[in-house]
Amino acid sequence: MAAMFELDPAFLATSHAIGDLRLCAARLQDDARYPWIVLIPRRAALRELEDLPPGERGALLDEVIAAGDAVRKLGEAAGRPVEKLNIAALGNVTAQLHAHVVGRRADDPAWPDPVWGRPGARPYDRLELETALAVARQALGLAPQP
Amino acid sequence: MAAMFELDPAFLATSHAIGDLRLCAARLQDDARYPWIVLIPRRAALRELEDLPPGERGALLDEVIAAGDAVRKLGEAAGRPVEKLNIAALGNVTAQLHAHVVGRRADDPAWPDPVWGRPGARPYDRLELETALAVARQALGLAPQP
């Protein structure tokens, strides 16, 4: 029997569910300083990009690009339009294959350095979070959630 | 007339030419602390991943995966096998679209943080560089250069 996909619990602590795309679980990183979506392919036992079957790699790229569009819309909704996307699959801390899509601006706290491995995340407050999830779901063509 | 592809001079200062793949120029980052290949799609006026025509996105992903294999072979040749690949398209400093493929180990100087935006690159010496370029060219199916 094939292993089931299970989300690494580390993602639950650091992000909020946006919804499921065709391949990936899409999550909003809980750091209101950056519009930031994390995509986790819903397949068991993936660690490196090459572990993803060749037939699904295109879907990951499509979803990364869609997440980039959603991140731009999150930036606009927050009054801070994105100037550059940062896209990365790292996995040094959480090994389960995932891709970060982060909207960056020259006036953000980490610019021009990367956002990973730096302290100081600012969790969303409840209203900001509801707004951001609604914007992200609409951008990604996902149904609003109750 | 379509604009010609021209490599941003910033890459010349920080990396060495490995050779041209079907889509990308492949370059060895001049930091012997990490096996690290940079891929620059040889198309004019690209900044974000979505600027790459959809028909060429699969080639970029294929070349990223091939560069990952080459990075693993660079790590083996240096007696420091890669434990995790880090893949990223950032562009905060050099805007021309490019992808980093970096081999990481839990005992490397930046682990588990990302390698970008940190000082202390250790340039290759001449012999190390010749060896690394030969290993990378063989792994990527490129002809050795004189």
Let me know how many helices (H) and strands (E) chain B has, helices first: 3, 5
Q: Is A81 on the interface with B (CB under 8 A)?
A: no
pLDDT for residue A144? 84
Question: Which pLDDT belongs to residue B145?
Answer: 74
The reply to whether B87 touches chain A by the CB within 8 Å rule is: yes
pLDDT given at position B3: 79
Average pLDDT on A24-30 reads 98
Residues of chain B below pLDDT 70: 1-2, 146
pLDDT at A90: 98
What are the angstrom distances between the C-alpha of A106 and each of A74, A83, B99? 17, 7, 20
Note the pLDDT of residue B103.
98
CA distances from B112 to A2, A18, A30, B106 (A): 31, 27, 20, 7
* Overall average pLDDT of the A9-22 stretch: 97
Q: Residue B92 is nearest to which of A60, A92, A111, comparing CB atoms?
A: A111
Which H or E element spans position A139?
A: helix A126-139
Q: Which of A50, A64, A114 sits opposite B114 (nearest CB)?
A: A114
Domain residue spans in chain B? 9-139
The encoded tokens of residue A42 equal: 């819903």
Alpha-carbon distance of A7 to A92, in angstroms, equals: 16
- Tell me, which fold does domain B9-139 have in CATH? HIT family, subunit A (3.30.428)
pLDDT in tens, A79-93: 999 999 999 999 999
The confidence score (pLDDT) of residue B146 equals 62
Q: What is the ipTM of this complex?
A: 0.95
CA distance A125 to chain B (A): 27
Residues A8-32, mean pLDDT to the nearest whole number: 98
Average pLDDT over residues A98-123: 96
